[in-house]
């Protein structure tokens, strides 16, 4: 491991977000802000201290065990937050301090900072931006070193013109933190303890503070508002889409294609506009997805086509076709070569290969064999008002249009259900089932009905 420990500051109230959720738990590309950061830091050290405050229990409950949590009861600035973590630091080694709302930081940049910091008492991650308003400015000492960091509220007019900013990510020797944190005093303007003041202490005593400037300032962007949340997500999505296109995934319009960070897509797959793929989804090779598809936690084999449809927690076999306007709900498992057509809803059902449910049907809690055909308007009635019941349809069965199968029911192999039937009893294999009222024709009645006026007619 490169670091002895890391401290992640996550105690802020996030008032500018104007939402009830803790700021660091707001998600971009399928993961909370702090989880994006932790994925990188976990590769640098196994000793991570997370300073929480506002809604700290929610943060702790989400992230779970494996981290040391420190509660900052009174939020008096970054210096005060790190003071709370000092008792949990090792005696020696390098400690990195990061903000929990910086999801775009790359692991390589953090590792580079940790490595250059070894040559001094502290390391500082900086970035050059066009509009530095709101950030602490880096005041250089000569061409290489850092003299001090000046916060926006403390900066002079000349210092406000500096475009090199403090990203809020630092490396310190553990002994340095323990020595200088007790020397911090609150700002007379804000009453807060600034961690940045330690940099001034070090440079005044001729300790070496090594800056490391990011090549791309966007890595350092913090999230404090929903607008900044959008900006961070936009940057991350552009990176995700760019990497997929380099790997052989075609996007007709990357600007309207939304992919989460955990999504995997095989080469030769085409994504049409307005496609959203979320969660832990895996898409095979040579698939065709969209337009207007929303997929979440799905697994698609090769050569699957989905158009204008919604699917969540489903598995779809190779060469299957879904949509348009289908709704596949959790627990659905489609075999190879299955056809699910327009306005079909399927929930918690296994459907074997080459079965067709072309249109206007509902299948729930069903186990369907291979080569079954469901006619238009076929409904599996799985719920009796209290419990869900299973339907079994064996291979080769034919379900006629507008049939209702009232579960629990078993339709045998190669059975044939006549159109318009409502069945509540099992059907043996190769049998024909007819369950509908007999047709009665009343001669001349249609003419009489057409000629009769409504009681409300004038």
Condensed to tens digits (0 to 9), the pLDDT of residues 350-368 reads 999 999 999 999 999 999 9
Out of 294, 359, 389, 410, the active site residue is 359
Q: Which residues, 6 or more positions from 440, have their beta carbon under 8 angstroms from its beta carbon? A: none
Domain boundaries along the sequence of the chain: 5-220, 226-433
Q: Max Cα separation, the chain?
A: 110
With cut-offs at 50, 70 and 90, classify the pLDDT of residue 110: very high
With cut-offs at 50, 70 and 90, classify the pLDDT of residue 276: very high
Task: Report the range of poorest mean pLDDT among 114-118, 281-285, 451-455.
Answer: 451-455
What is the percentage of the chain residues whose pLDDT exceeds 90? Answer: 79
What are 299-318's pLDDT values in tens digits? 999 999 999 999 999 999 99
- Arch. (CATH architecture) of 226-433: 3 Solenoid (2.160)
pLDDT above 90: residue 449: no
Question: What's the pLDDT score for residue 455?
Answer: 55
**Average pLDDT taken over every residue of the chain:** 93
What is the percentage of the chain residues whose pLDDT exceeds 70? Answer: 98
Class of the CATH-defined domain 5-220: alpha beta
Question: What's the pLDDT score for residue 421?
Answer: 97
Question: What's the pLDDT score for residue 453?
Answer: 56
Answer yes or no: are the C-beta atoms of 176 and 122 closer than 8 Å: yes
Cα–Cα distance, 342 to 140 (Å, whole number) = 65
Question: What's the pLDDT score for residue 452?
Answer: 61
Cα–Cα distance, 136 to 152 (Å, whole number) = 6
Question: What's the pLDDT score for residue 43?
Answer: 95
With cut-offs at 50, 70 and 90, classify the pLDDT of residue 409: very high
Integer angstrom CA distances of residue 437 from 56, 107, 380, 400, 421 = 64, 70, 20, 16, 9
Answer yes or no: are the C-beta atoms of 232 and 223 closer than 8 Å: yes
In the residue annotation, 234 being an active-site residue is answered as no
Question: What's the pLDDT score for residue 58?
Answer: 95
Question: What's the pLDDT score for residue 416?
Answer: 98
Question: What's the pLDDT score for residue 145?
Answer: 77
What are 43-98's pLDDT values in tens digits? 999 999 999 998 999 999 999 999 999 999 888 889 999 999 999 999 889 999 99
Question: What's the pLDDT score for residue 111?
Answer: 95
Question: What's the pLDDT score for residue 188?
Answer: 84
What are 182-219's pLDDT values in tens digits? 999 988 888 889 898 898 899 888 888 889 999 999 99
């Amino acid at each position: 491991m490169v670091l002895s420990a890391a401290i992640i500051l996550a105690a802020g109230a996030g008032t500018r977000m104007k939402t009830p959720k803790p700021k660091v738990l707001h998600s971009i590309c399928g993961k909370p802000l702090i989880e994006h950061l932790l994925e990188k830091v976990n590769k640098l050290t196994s000793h991570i201290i997370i300073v929480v405050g506002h809604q700290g229990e929610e943060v702790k409950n989400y992230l779970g065990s494996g981290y040391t949590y420190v509660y900052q009861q009174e939020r008096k600035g970054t210096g005060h937050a790190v003071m709370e973590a000092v008792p949990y630091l090792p005696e020696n080694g390098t400690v990195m301090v990061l903000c929990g709302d910086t999801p775009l930081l790359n692991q390589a940049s953090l590792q580079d900072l940790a490595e250059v910091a070894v040559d001094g008492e502290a390391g500082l991650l900086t970035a050059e931006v066009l509009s530095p308003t709101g950030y602490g400015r880096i005041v250089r000492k000569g061409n290489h070193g850092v003299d001090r960091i000046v916060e926006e509220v403390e900066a002079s007019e000349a210092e406000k013109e500096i475009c090199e900013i403090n990203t809020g990510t630092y490396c310190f020797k553990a002994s340095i933190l323990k020595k200088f944190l007790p020397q911090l005093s609150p700002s007379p303007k804000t009453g807060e303890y600034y961690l940045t003041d330690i940099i001034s202490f070090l440079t005044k005593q001729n300790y070496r503070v090594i800056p490391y400037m990011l090549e791309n300032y966007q890595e350092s962007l913090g999230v404090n508002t929903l607008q900044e949340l959008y900006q961070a997500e936009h940057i991350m999505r552009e990176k995700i889409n760019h990497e997929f296109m380099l790997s052989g995934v075609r996007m007709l319009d990357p600007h309207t294609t939304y992919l989460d960070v955990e999504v995997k897509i095989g080469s030769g797959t085409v994504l049409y506009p307005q496609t959203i793929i979320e969660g832990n989804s895996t898409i095979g090779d040579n698939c065709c997805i969209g337009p207007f598809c929303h997929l979440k936690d799905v697994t698609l084999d090769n050569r699957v086509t989905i158009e204008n449809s919604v699917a969540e927690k489903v598995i779809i076999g190779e060469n299957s076709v879904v949509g348009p306007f289908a709704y596949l709900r959790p627990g659905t498992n489609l075999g190879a070569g299955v056809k699910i057509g327009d306005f079909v809803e399927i929930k918690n059902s296994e459907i074997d290969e080459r079965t067709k449910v072309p249109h206007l049907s509902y299948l729930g809690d069903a186990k369907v064999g291979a080569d079954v055909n469901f006619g238009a308007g076929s409904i599996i009635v799985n719920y009796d008002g209290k419990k869900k019941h299973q339907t079994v349809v064996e291979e080769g069965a034919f379900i006629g249009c507008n049939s209702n199968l009232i579960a629990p029911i078993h339709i045998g192999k190669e059975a044939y259900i006549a159109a318009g039937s409502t069945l509540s009893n099992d059907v043996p294999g190769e049998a024909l089932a007819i369950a509908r009222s007999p047709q009665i024709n009343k001669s001349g009645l249609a003419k009489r009905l057409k000629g009769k006026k409504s009681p409300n007619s004038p």
